[in-house]
Structure 1
Amino acid sequence: MSTLQHAWLGNYEVSSTHCTGLTFARHSHDECVIGVNLVGEEKVWLDRREFEAGPGSITLYNPGQIQGGGAADGAPWHFVSLYATADQLAMDLGLAQLEFDRSLCFQPQLARRLAAAVKGALSDDAWVCELNEQALVLLLGDVVSVSGVRLAGSPKTGKSLINRAQELLASQLHQSLPLEQLGDELGLSKFHLLRAFQKETGLSPRQWAMQLRTCRAKGLLRNGTSASAVAHELGFADQSHLNRHFRAAYGITPGRYQSLLKR
């Protein structure tokens, strides 16, 4: 018996599987596959060799590699998986090409963070999904590094480039600016854009845009605009979405904030 959650996150396919004694016949994938083992021991057959991957292990498969294996009969197993083309991963990480040098890395902390990002990517909340898409890109940089792939050094970005990114985000607050579009505008890969932006601001582009959206919501509410109109104007999914972020930032709901201003 198994329980599978599955979703597309931008150009990444992600899944989370809880099962008992699941095995896979020998097969291959056209994409790169990154697996994270959380519970149970996986016996892996890969290109005529065998190894075991226990909890905290990250397994990495290049396109076309013949693989198989699974958990012993009756043994519990929980793992998450990410699928992406080699070209897509290389482009997102600022590499000319990508091929994993190692098939198994024991990195418990990185495995937990990667699994948490995949779990977040499976959320029904679009905001949570977008946030975890950005987290995944940064974590994938760590994953390919521990697999033996050398990442290019960060291009010199400078404060002016990050200011330009902020201007672009601010100009489109009513909608989510795709990370690919933002990177193309600045001439940066997703990975280098995210790393430079977080280094400069302490936030991801998505988080920075949300805090600005919430700040502008406060100004509109102060001027008497209704919460529903504010949510629509600033691109919140609905009024409850505005309420959640406004309360998280200011400790008060938009309605309560406006009622206090009338006193």
Structure 2
Amino acid sequence: MSSSHHAWLGDYEISSTTCSGLTFARHSHDECVIGVNLIGEEKVWLDRRTFEAGPGSITLYNPGQIQGGGAAQGAPWHFVSLYAGADRLASDLGLAHLEFDRALYFAPALAAQLAQAAKGALNVDPLVRELNEEALVLLLGDVVRLSGVRLPGGASAGTGMVARAQELLAAQLHQSVALGALGDALGLSKFHVLRTFQKETGLSPRQWAMQLRTRRAKGLLRSGLNAADVAHDLGFADQSHLNRHFRAAYGMTPGRYQSAIGSKTTPLPRHQTGPITG
């Protein structure tokens, strides 16, 4: 018995497969393929040579490489795969070119993190998927480093870049700003933006925008706007989404907060903001 789940996360294709005794004929892909083996022993045939990848292994394939193999008949196997165009992956990481020089690494901790993020990308909640995209971008940087590729620096411009990113996020607080769009506006790679932002603030851009959105929600609730309108105006998916984040930040729901401060809901004018610009 086998099961397989697939999804697109931005420009990446993700799959998670649980099976028994599955084998693949020799084939190739147009994309870079990163495989994470969680359970079982995979026997890999790659460009006329064979090797084994056990639990905790990460396998890396360049576009066009001939590969094949699988698990022995009846043997349990659980693996996660990520497919990314070489140019797209290089661009996301701030590289002019990307090519893996080794096909196998044993890195159990990184493999577990990759698998967790990839599985999170299969979640039905779009916000969960977006957060896992951020996690994957950073983890893919770690994978590329394993292959001996040095990623671009840029820490010296960190503070100024983060301040500009925060301005852009605050200007569009009513909607979720994709990491790629933020990078394009700043003229930087996804990886550079995400790594530098987290280093400076301790949060990803999306997490920082959410805490600002939640903080502003508190002010609007205090002034009397009802929770449903606050959720709409600040770009929460719905009122339950606002409730979840507000309670996590402040220990109570918006309704209880308004009751505690004696607020009376009154209609307030809505606001609008313009599109993200560079």
Q: TM-score range by the shorter chain?
A: over 0.9
CA deviation after TM superposition for structure 1 residue 166, in Å: 0.2
> Match for residue 239 of structure 1?
239
CA RMSD for the aligned pairs?
Answer: 1.0
Query: Aligned equivalents of 1:158 and 1:219: distance in 2?
Result: 30
> Match for residue 100 of structure 1?
100
Per-residue CA deviation, residues 64-112 of structure 1 (Å, 9 max, x unaligned), is 0000011111111111000000000100001110000100000000000
User: 5 Å matches for 1:221-260?
Assistant: 221-260=221-260
User: 5 Å matches for 1:145-184?
Assistant: 145-154=145-154, 156-184=156-184
- Residues 246/202 of structure 1: CA separation in 2 closer, same or farther (3 Å cut): same
Any gaps of 5 or more consecutive residues in structure 1? none
Query: Aligned equivalents of 1:159 and 1:93: distance in 2?
Result: 20
User: 5 Å matches for 1:66-77?
Assistant: 66-77=66-77
The alignment's TM-score, normalised by the length of structure 1, stands at 0.98
Per-residue CA deviation, residues 118-143 of structure 1 (Å, 9 max, x unaligned), is 11111111111111101100100000
CA deviation after TM superposition for structure 1 residue 160, in Å: 2.0
> Match for residue 122 of structure 2?
122
Which AA in structure 2 matches 1:108? P
CA deviation after TM superposition for structure 1 residue 228, in Å: 0.5
CA deviation after TM superposition for structure 1 residue 10, in Å: 0.3
SS at the partner of 1:255?
Answer: helix
SS at the partner of 2:156?
Answer: coil
Which AA in structure 2 matches 1:156? S
Structure 1 residue 19 and structure 2 residue 19: aligned? Answer: yes
Structure 1 residue 34 and structure 2 residue 34: aligned? Answer: yes
Query: Aligned equivalents of 1:32 and 1:184: distance in 2?
Result: 23
SS at the partner of 1:26?
Answer: strand
Query: Aligned equivalents of 2:98 and 2:174: distance in 1?
Result: 36
> Match for residue 139 of structure 2?
139
Query: Aligned equivalents of 2:158 and 2:64: distance in 1?
Result: 40
Runs of 4+ aligned residues of structure 1 deviating over 3 Å after TM superposition are none
Per-residue CA deviation, residues 44-79 of structure 1 (Å, 9 max, x unaligned), is 000000000000000000000000011111111111
SS at the partner of 2:14?
Answer: strand
Query: Does the aligned pair in 2 maintain the 1:213–1:234 contact within 8 Å?
Result: yes
> Match for residue 270 of structure 2?
none
Query: Aligned equivalents of 2:211 and 2:49: distance in 1?
Result: 50
CA deviation after TM superposition for structure 1 residue 155, in Å: 5.5
Query: Aligned equivalents of 1:202 and 1:117: distance in 2?
Result: 19
Structure 1 residue 61 and structure 2 residue 36: aligned? Answer: no
Query: Aligned equivalents of 1:243 and 1:31: distance in 2?
Result: 40
> Match for residue 273 of structure 2?
none
SS at the partner of 1:169?
Answer: helix
Any gaps of 5 or more consecutive residues in structure 2? 264-278
Query: Which stretch shifts more, 178-187 or 231-240?
Result: 178-187
Per-residue CA deviation, residues 15-49 of structure 1 (Å, 9 max, x unaligned), is 11111111111100000000000011000000000
The alignment's TM-score, normalised by the length of structure 2, stands at 0.93
Per-residue CA deviation, residues 170-196 of structure 1 (Å, 9 max, x unaligned), is 110111112122112212111111111
Query: Does the aligned pair in 1 maintain the 2:158–2:197 contact within 8 Å?
Result: no
> Match for residue 203 of structure 1?
203
Structure 1 residue 192 and structure 2 residue 168: aligned? Answer: no
Which AA in structure 2 matches 1:94? G
SS at the partner of 1:156?
Answer: helix
Query: Aligned equivalents of 1:124 and 1:225: distance in 2?
Result: 30
Query: Aligned equivalents of 1:31 and 1:148: distance in 2?
Result: 20
Query: Does the aligned pair in 2 maintain the 1:243–1:254 contact within 8 Å?
Result: yes
For these two proteins, the number of residue pairs brought into alignment is 263
